[in-house]
A and B are shown apart, each in its own frame.
Chain A
Amino acid sequence: MNLLPPISLLTVVPLVGAAAVLVLGRKDNRLARVLAFTFAFLALAVVLILWHWFNPTAGGLQFEEVHAWIPALGVEYHVGIDGLGLLMLLLSAIVVPMAMAASSRIEARAPLYYSLVLMLEAGLFGTFTALNFFHWFLFWELSLIPAFFLIRLWGGTQRAAAATQFFIYTMVGSVALLLAFLALFLCTGKFDFMDLAALAQSGQLLPSLAAGFAWHSLTAGKVALLLCFGAFLGFAVKVPLVPFHTWLPSAYAEAPAGVTMLLTGTMSKMGVYGFLRILLPIFYAQLREVRTALLWLAVATIVLSAYAALAQKDLKRIFAYSSINHLGYCMLGIFSILKWTGDNPALAAEKAAALNGVLLQMFNHGLTAATLFWFVALLEKRSGGLRGLDDFGGLRKVAPVFCGMMGIALFSSLGLPGLNGFVGEFLIFKGAFPLAIAPTSVSVLGLLLTAIFILTILQRVFSGPLNSKWAGMHDLTLSERLALAPPLVLMFVLGVYPQLVLGFTNSTVMQFVRHLRF
């Protein structure tokens, strides 16, 4: 631990892997795949070691590294993780090998594919550990480029349009984000998230903004709100929040299965992570001003996306909208804690519960959604690319194991108690209800709609009379079962023993709630 800086090492592993896959695996797809898996598991091993070393009772940043980088721009190499960061690293390191496993059908330019996936992983690791805007933004963008090409080159028939739409939406969000932080830098001379948050907490942010924007007639409060909106846009597109979500269904549907898993499992979390790590600590005063609007935006995200999922025929699109829905709960939890509660300890506890729920939900959704898209990929492999809701029927009879295992994932997504999905949503609702009664009540509608479309899938695809076309469909092979077992086991484990995650996130959450002086 003292010999090697673990976080830098972690970010380098997938980058080295990307280069190795591209160079060594150039001629041989099999070798490229094996190399890619090796490096993905190596990264997972490093994350697990980090978890082992991580002190769960300390709420602050651990494994911090600070080095000078570009002094003229206030840019430092500053990385570190707390409970939130560790959770995201774990999720990324788990989803990436899953996505690779689901990519077995990729034959064309396979080395490039796996190399891009590893680059994406490096982008994720960097995003979840960097604490200086410049450094963070580098990785934020680094993850966008491979994602674009993965959709653009290996996607379905409408891939060009989907990739372009994805790129333009996220790019516009990124530019807004960049401008907001540039303005912050110009006024405060700081790029470091921790420094900026400290400024915001000590109330010095507004005076510096007023000084920096002296040439303009806007008041500092308005400027701060504007900057907050710029940064908000960047994250809202990524999560996504309604109405910034329209890129998502086509991107998820057109991307190859493995890439969809990465998009939903990890990249959507970048947005939520951004809200927690960056937006909330720096702009909480501004966000609080528009809290009601934000809460209803989250409600709209939850209800409308669930409603849209009901109307879809394409399994991938259903799960895409369901993803938006699930992340909507995270946003509900986050926005609910913006409420001003003074020193009321009971409500502070509710905030901690909601926030813990948000973190759990981030992890659970990543795991469950990725698994669901994996099942869709397996189904497509058997059906020759068909994945419509009405293309199947009665598969339970020919592929019982397939249906059983996918059923577990579906019920996890539904939020059945005993599986992982339940705990997170329960904590969010428990915490958010006293803080924001009306929005939370309305968003329960989302749970109901989710139940309807999940049960519809079970009914149309697996039950009913067997569609004779699929009489010869074979069940999951042994290797597929083995590959799918770990995520499914994890769903049970987390459902029964959420302490596994809460154990190391709780102190971070407590510190977060304390620090923001709500």
Chain B
Amino acid sequence: MLAWTIYISFGGALVLMLLPKGGVRAARVVALLAALAGLAIAVADFARRPSGELVTVVQVSWIRSLGLEYHLAADGISLTLVLLTGIVAVAGVLFSWNIEQRANEFFAFYLALIGGVYGVFLSFDLLLLFVFYEIAIVPKYFLIAIWGSTRREYAAMKLALYSFVGSAMVLIGLIAAYVVAGARTMDLVQLSQFPFPVHFQMWAFPLVFVGFGILAGLWPFHTWAPTGHVAAPTAASMLLAGVVMKLGAYGCLRVAMMLFPRGLDPWGFHVLGLGSWREVFALLALIGIVYGAMVALVQKDFKFVIGYSSVSHMGFVLLGLMTLQQIGLDGAVLQMFSHGVLAGLLFAVVGRMVYDRTHTRDLTELSKMSLGKVLPFAAATFVLAGMASIGLPGFSGFVAELQVLIGTWRSFPVFVVIAGVGIVIGIAYTWRAMQMAFFGASHNSSVGSAAYPPISIPERIAAMLLLAASIVVGLYPQLLLRVIIPALHSPMFDGLWKGGVR
């Protein structure tokens, strides 16, 4: 059943391409129906699943001579991310309700991107995963280059180049793994049981991890993210920050860490005090957390604040992965979901609710408009999303970051303090953006009196959907942990738990 998420998305894209030009309404409806169908399938499957064990959806031979298979399956981690994709996809369509220019193509690219993302999360054959991963890059490029804003060609090109470099690194690692394992299969489950030589894992792991990490916003390879997010149209920013960055993190976990767990082992010597790839990447993740937050603190452009905050929050995902603690990994996966929902919401507030109305994202100019009074719904949404984003209890961010921090404490006690500093800076930049954008000087109402169209119904529904997702998971994280924890305990991850250092 889950496979239909992919087919429906690509099918929807195809239908949109064939629709007569100018049928904006029809295009929206088709896109919404496709996204809703994907979400419904994800929810239905999620509800029926008793736990997070791996369940194969489709497995047929593809290229028999190479041992390649068309193998779709889902465990708890995939399922969580598929659910996230469904939620963000629906919200994204609703927030794009005002797209008039070449709407058919816009939604077609949008659905193609979603189809690719679903594909990555569900593929259990390495080559298939890679193919979907590549498919997702193309629509991203066009979405930004055609419908984008600030320096869109530059941003689109930068994003595509970074993505392709990452893909190339991943591809080298994959092919090497395929050959070393005897060139018989690309099946993830089988490869995860193959004892790759340690010296091979030692170079394949960082190669693949960085390859995927580029897309996850791993510092210092994150620079595509803020420019890309800012240039992209709202729905595309939501997808980029909400799910595409998760593709990278998912790849890090599913491919790099699952196949090459010994790559995390100590080198046996120290360089600059670092004794393993695990410590190197944990440090990079930590730098990302603090650096992203500090840069977000000084931005003039509202959207850049959110863009850099994404880098900071994704740092928690990567840090959680590097803890190699049960609780840290749980937290990392939960943080993928949480950040996906919240980044989507924040970008929607900035891009759709504010920018589409005021046509400026400059915080100084926004502060003169007293938007808190003019657009109360936007202000309330941003306040709630901001609170969730800084990790107030009751929202998903809190449980996720808490678990990551607990895991970090057990593995790298000193890092907790620095990550804590990152959280404090996170409070500061969210606060600053909120004050400037919505609660600026209210006396000077010369600009502010301009009547903006009120927040429309689709926007309200979408905002509620994303907020509800964050609150439900924040109050009852067991909902997702129920499937995430068993998935992390499946035999596929055995290598990770039995590695040399633990």
Query: Is A138 located at the chain interface by the 8 A CB criterion?
Result: yes
Q: Which residue of A lies closest to B387 (CB)?
A: A145
A501 at the interface (CB under 8 A from B): no
CB-nearest residue of chain B to A214: B413
Task: State the 3 A-B residue pairs at the shortest beta-carbon distance, nearest first.
Answer: A138-B393, A138-B394, A215-B413
Interface flags, A112-156, vs B, CB<8A=1, else 0:
000000000000000000000010011001100100000010000
Given A73-B402, A73-B403: A186 and B394 within 8 A (CB)? no
For A340, what are the chain B residues with a Cβ–Cβ distance below 8 Å? Answer: none
Given the complex of chains A and B, what is the CA–CA distance between A152 and B435 in angstroms?
Answer: 11
C-alpha spacing A160/B394, complex, angstroms:
25
- Taking CB atoms and an 8 Å cut-off, the chain A residues in 44-80 that contact chain B are 68-73
- Contact residues of B between 404 and 435, Cβ < 8 Å to A: 405-406, 409-410, 413, 420, 424, 427
B247 within 8 A of A: no
Chain B positions within 8 Å of A142 at CB level: 394
B481 within 8 A of A: yes
- Say yes or no for A311: interface residue by CB 8 A criterion: no
B409 neighbours in A (Cβ, 8 Å): 182, 186
Residues of B within 8 A of A175 (CB): 424
Give chain A residues whose Cβ lies under 8 Å from the Cβ of B327. Answer: 72-73
Does any Cβ of B come within 8 Å of A185's Cβ? yes
Is B478 among interface residues, defined by CB-CB distance under 8 A? Answer: yes
Cβ-defined contact, A141 with B392, below 8 A: yes
Nearest-Cβ distance from residue A3 to partner chain B, whole angstroms: 23
With both chains docked as a complex, state the minimum distance between the C-beta of A119 and any C-beta of chain B, in angstroms. Answer: 11
Docked pose: A145 CA to B485 CA in angstroms: 32
Q: With A and B bound together, what is the CA distance between A142 and B384 in angstroms?
A: 12
Q: Does B439 contact A (CB under 8 A)?
A: yes
CB-CB < 8 A to A179: which residues of B? Answer: 420
The answer to whether A72 touches B427 (Cβ under 8 A) is no
Given A68-B478, A152-B439, list of 15 further CB < 8 A pairs?
A69-B476, A69-B478, A70-B481, A71-B478, A72-B403, A73-B327, A134-B393, A137-B393, A138-B394, A141-B394, A145-B392, A160-B439, A171-B427, A182-B402, A186-B410
Could you tell me the distance in whole angstroms from the C-beta of B316 to the nearest C-beta in chain A? Answer: 15
Is there contact, CB below 8 Å, between B393 and A72?
no
Known interface pairs A171-B427, A175-B424; A70-B399 also in contact (CB < 8 Å): yes
* Interface Cβ pair total, 8 Å cutoff: 44
Residue picked from B326, B327, B406, most chain A C-beta under 10 Å: B406
Q: Which of A298-341 contact B (CB under 8 A)?
A: none
Contact B478 A216 (CB under 8 A): no
Given A138-B393, A182-B402, A215-B413, A72 and B476 touching (CB < 8 A)? no
Binding site for B on A (CB under 8 A): 68-73, 134, 137-138, 141-142, 145, 152, 160, 171, 175, 179, 182, 185-186, 215-216
Q: Does B330 contact A (CB under 8 A)?
A: yes
Interface: B495 (CB within 8 A):
no
Contacting residues, chain B, for A138 (C-beta < 8 A): 393-394
What are 27 A-B pairs at a CB distance below 8 A? A68-B478, A69-B476, A69-B478, A70-B399, A70-B477, A70-B481, A71-B478, A72-B326, A72-B327, A72-B403, A72-B485, A73-B399, A73-B402, A73-B406, A134-B393, A138-B393, A141-B392, A141-B393, A152-B439, A171-B427, A179-B420, A182-B406, A182-B409, A185-B406, A186-B406, A215-B413, A216-B413
Q: Which residue of B lies closest to A212 (CB)?
A: B409
The residues of B that contact A141 with a CB separation of less than 8 Å are 392-394
CB pair A72–B481 under 8 Å, yes or no, is yes
Q: State A175–B478 Cα separation when bound (angstroms).
A: 24
Taking the closest CB of chain A, its distance from the CB of B156, in whole angstroms, is 39
Smallest distance from the beta carbon of A458 to chain B beta carbons, Å? 39
Give the contacts of B380-398 with A (CB-CB under 8 A). Answer: 387, 392-394
Minimum Cβ distance to chain B for residue A263 (Å) = 20
Mask, B350-392, CB within 8 Å of A = 1, is: 0000000000000000000000000000000000000100001
Alpha-carbon gap, A142 to B387, bound state (A):
11
A337 shortest CB reach to chain B, Å? 31
Mark interface residues in B447-484 (1 if CB within 8 Å of A CB, else 0): 00000000000000000000000000000111001000
Interchain CA distance A335-B476 in the complex, whole Å: 38
**Residues of B in contact, count (CB < 8 Å):** 24
Interface secondary structure of B, over-half rule? helix
Within the complex, the shortest CB–CB distance from B438 to chain A, in Å, comes to 11
Q: Which residues of A contact B402 (CB under 8 A)?
A: 73, 182
CB distance from A375 to the nearest CB of B (A): 31
- Give A215 to B403 CA distance when docked, in angstroms: 20
Q: Which residues on the B side are within 8 Å of A182 (C-beta)?
A: 402, 405-406, 409
Q: Which residues of B contact A73 (CB under 8 A)?
A: 327, 399, 402-403, 406
Q: How far is the CA of A142 from the CA of B474 in the complex (A)?
A: 13
Distance (whole angstroms) from the CB of A120 to the closest CB of chain B: 14
Closest to A69 in B: B478
Residues of A within 8 A of B399 (CB): 70, 73
Given contacts A141-B394, A171-B427, A182-B402, contact A70 B420 (CB under 8 A): no
Q: How far is the CB of B123 from chain A (nearest CB, A)?
A: 28
Min CB distance A220 to B, Å, is 15
Smallest CB–CB gap between A456 and chain B, Å?
37
* Contact A70 to B406, CB < 8 A, known contacts A145-B387, A171-B427, A175-B424: no
Report B420 CB to chain A, min CB distance, Å.
Answer: 7
Chain B residues with CB under 8 Å of A186's CB are 406, 409-410
CA distance A215 to B410 in the complex (A): 10
* Cα A73 to Cα B413 with chains together (Å): 18
B391 to chain A, nearest CB (A): 10
Closest to B406 in A: A186
Question: Closest A-chain residue to B392, C-beta based?
Answer: A141
In Å, the complex CA distance between A389 and B476 comes to 51
Contacts of A152 in B (CB 8 A): 439
- Rounded to whole angstroms, the CA-CA distance of A141 and B424 in the bound complex is 16
Min distance, Cβ B484 to any Cβ of chain A, angstroms: 9
CB under 8 Å from chain A, chain B span 212-247:
none
User: Of residues A73, A142, A185, A216, which shows the largest number of chain B Cβ atoms within 10 Å of its Cβ?
Assistant: A73
Q: A68 to chain B: which residues have CB within 8 Å?
A: 478
Task: Please indicate the chain B residues that have their CB under 8 angstroms from the CB of A171 in the complex.
Answer: 427
A216 and B392 CA atoms in complex are apart in Å by 29
Contact partners of A137 in chain B: CB under 8 A: 393
Nearest neighbor of B424 in chain A, beta-carbon distance? A175
Q: What residues of B have a CB within 8 angstroms of the CB of A70 in the complex? A: 399, 477-478, 481
For B442, give the chain A residue with the smallest CB separation: A160
How long is the Cα–Cα vector from A137 to B402 in the complex, in angstroms? 13
With A and B bound together, what is the CA distance between A154 and B447 in angstroms? 23
Q: In the complex, how many angstroms separate the beta carbon of B404 from the nearest chain A beta carbon?
A: 12
Shortest beta-carbon distance from B455 to chain A in Å: 14
Bound Cα distance A510, B51 (Å):
48
Chain A nearest CB from B433 CB (Å) reads: 15
CA distance A142 to B471 in the complex (A): 13
Q: Which of B326, B405, B439, B478 has the most CB of A within 10 A?
A: B478
> Considering only CB atoms, which chain A residue lies closest to B412 in the complex?
A215
CB neighbours (8 Å) of A160 from chain B are 439
A71 to B478, CA, bound (A): 8
On chain B, the residues within 8 Å of A216 by CB distance are: 413
Give complex CA distance A138, B476 in Å: 12
Residues from chain A with Cβ under 8 Å of B387 in the complex: 145
In the complex, how many angstroms separate the beta carbon of A125 from the nearest chain B beta carbon?
A: 15
CA distance A431 to B32 in the complex (A): 70
List chain B residues, Cβ under 8 A from A72: 326-327, 330, 403, 481, 485
Roughly how many angstroms separate A138 CA and B396 CA in the complex, as a whole number?
Answer: 12
Restricting to B309-332, which residues have a CB under 8 Å from any CB of A?
326-327, 330
Bound Cα distance from A160 to B439, whole angstroms: 9
- Output the least CB separation between B172 and chain A (Å): 37
Q: How many Å lie between the Cα of A182 and that of B420 in the bound state?
A: 12
Which residues on A sit within 8 Å (CB–CB) of B392?
141, 145
Shortest CB–CB separation between residue A399 and chain B, in angstroms? 36
A155 CB to nearest B CB, Å: 13
